[in-house]
Amino acid sequence: MRALVTGCGRRLGFYLCEQLVASGWQVTGSYRSERPELAQLRALGVELVQADFAREGGVDGLIAALSAHEDLALVIHNASAFEPQAEDPALQREQFDRFYRVHMAAPFALNHALAPQLARQPNASIIHITDIYIHASAPQFAAYVATKAGAHSLAMSFARELAPAVRVNTIEPGPILFLDEHGDAWRQQVLAKTPLAREGGLEPIWQAVKLLMENDYMTGASIRVDGGRSLAVI
């Protein structure tokens, strides 16, 4: 069976590709720009397709590449864009458009295009990676949060539309893996309001992915993998 992982060039997407290959899956991964980590995925046999979701028609080449794979059974929407909201209103509009294309328009196009292929496989599923902050206001990240919330809504709509042939679920990560630019003070502030009081790492997300892959009676579900962080922010 084949899986698609978008945003495979680093962090979670890279890790999911590794785990899927180790589990016996054929994997196609999409990436926006070339990165050293991609050489490792190529060495594992991952089919890599360059796709800039922030551009009009950025998914077209990826859809074309996947059309050759009749064994497609899993899609993981991991590609994401993230940055604080710009102060300039004109730049805010540009940010929103970019986040919308990456978090909503690209998954929408991929789900519609790939649904017929997925429906031919037993227990096929789609997983959208969203964020716990879709349930909380965050003015400094308004465009990011709004479009991630839109991705959640899309997933719920597709769960109804594509049933019973294809299951659609979401995973809502919390403080899984801090970015390099996150300072110690900020990290401690976040962890102080996280009941499990530690960074989660990538393995808990893979565990949630496996659950959603294997449990054939789950669709329209959302799993929070956040160490309890949502208890403090929602």
Six-digit token string for 110 = 């991929």
Instruction: Give kind and range of the element (H or E) at residue 13.
Output: helix 11-22
3-class secondary-structure state, position 167: strand
Distance CA 144, CA 136 (A): 12
Six-digit token string for 197 = 């009081």
Q: Specify whether 133 is catalytic.
A: no
Instruction: Give kind and range of the element (H or E) at residue 129.
Output: strand 124-129
Distance CA 88, CA 93 (A): 9
3-class secondary-structure state, position 79: coil
Six-digit token string for 182 = 């996150």
Catalytic residue chosen out of the listed positions 31, 100, 144, 217? 144
Q: What is the dihedral of CA 115, 163, 133, 106, to 10 degrees?
A: 10
Distance CA 183, CA 178 (A): 9
Going by their DSSP bridges, the two strands 72-77 and 47-50 should be labelled as: unpaired
Active site residues: 144
